[in-house]
Structure 1
């Protein structure tokens, strides 16, 4: 087929005069479904799998699909999925992200890596010749790409804003009749996924520069960002920046959260950053997680009460530390000193036992060596001679009649 558009928004040349008005209507940009114009379709059953033209793999289709209403001028890609993923999408991202996506999604950035991962996953569900009829769910895309559902949603929005994808029909919940019809064919889905069309970029430039040229297609805002001459106060409307937490306080907070003796309410914040401001003073005096836990124990022992889930745990800890008074007095210092003294006494007792055992071993070796001396040998010879005489005397008395 010579025309790679497959009936897209690009009408063929040389149409008769009678059909030029129709062709003019078909050349307008198609933006798909919207909140004001919601497109619907007809649910029809389909085989569980349909073999592609090549015959080596299968398209993933549900048991029942929603056929959308016929819409004119749905765009498509002019090539294959690989070209669209690795050429069209990165080029559109580098050239139009700052101008088309960033202003429309303030505070919700998405990286090129995430956009390409979602684009590759969507391309695997689309028609391979046209790029249309792409209808995976966000959960399915998140499972394939390993990203969160919110990241998948941001990447899909970025594809639409970059002009390389069009949401033909918005997703919606199934009606009561549609749910009964889908359950009869074994489909337990409760909604219809959005139908997308993946196509070439609809923002065409007159003289695009190729990749690797001397023209910078992507201007990062970080190149012009500087804070060397920033004012300390930007006025009432500007938010003040948080000071960087002390490294020792941050280390103490992280160790305290990871300590098994720490109460469960202290793990409400998974990082030690929120606790660092409260623990800055005590961290400078060398406090440990044991000191904090002992401080909580002493607080309860003095008649106070700590709920299982405090309303403001950071404020509660700050109040307890303030009531302690002198941060130079560590709560667990006496216990640690007592344990060190007990450990030292145990080690001294073990050393004394080892020395006593060594002394006894040396005495046994000296006694064994003395048994082989000349005095012991002479005494053994005399005893052997006495035994021999007694034996000979006893044998002679027995032989007399």
Structure 2
């Protein structure tokens, strides 16, 4: 029998004890099986699926495309939000992998197991399962519950430390809508519309599904409640973009990569709003390190960057200050060049080459040069007169 572990343990029971338990089948359920068995008729009215891939890619995808906009108000009321097609298909594939291969029934996975296999959150898993029920492609035939005292003891005998039973799901093609009509005195009784009354005509499906983006690629919408929420979301988006560029920069410290861009987004939202760049963040860190003569290695990087940004004048980012200094230097160079050109123009507009003033200036220059040459010659003569003369040879007579 399905569900037996280590063989049939009920074979070792005495006949009297078997009778006390209510027969061999009851004893087998208690001592040999560690799973909840469904009552007869639990799957009544549920069709078999045509395979795991067909159910995920055809049944679920088609039902989402056709009816998601219709069921979304009820989904938001039940779970607090919507869900995208990609996320729904991820959860559906995990549930289909645990179902019976031929029938699509007995899919028994806990929320913790689905979280582990899909990488999504618990609320997202609950929202996805609720969506499958509203789309009428899955039915929860047995709701999970905690195990009773006797069931826990029986499970422990088989090294099963579970505290509860997972829900049992049946995965099937989309069930048709119940179009049963109630006729009273020859007239059909129509159910009133839940919101707008009895004679409201719903909007065309073509109008609902005709959007700029495909429904397959369009995620669930999140309506912002106020202008402050819109501004906060835009600031977080800018912070996320700045964090992504900063973490890709080679100058970024290693400790900054302990967190993802999504984790850095709130801390960098305000610098991003003032136009800071990845190079500005690294320049601020280098300036702090040079001022304190310490290499930063914070235990909490996000808290450190929040504190460091509070010490900065966010209105004047480092690249803005560098641009201001470059502009001032350029203006100073242009001023000096203009003054030089003005001076050259002044000299260019002076007297002619053969003017009396220029002739007098050349005469004075020649006389000064002659005077300097005469002084140099006289100084050299005086030095030669005062210096001693050494006799380096004798006459032939003196040698004899």
Give TM-score, length-normalised by structure 1: 0.48
Instruction: Say which structure is richer in helix.
Output: 2
Is the radius of gyration larger for structure 1 or structure 2? Answer: 2
Give TM-score, length-normalised by structure 2: 0.48
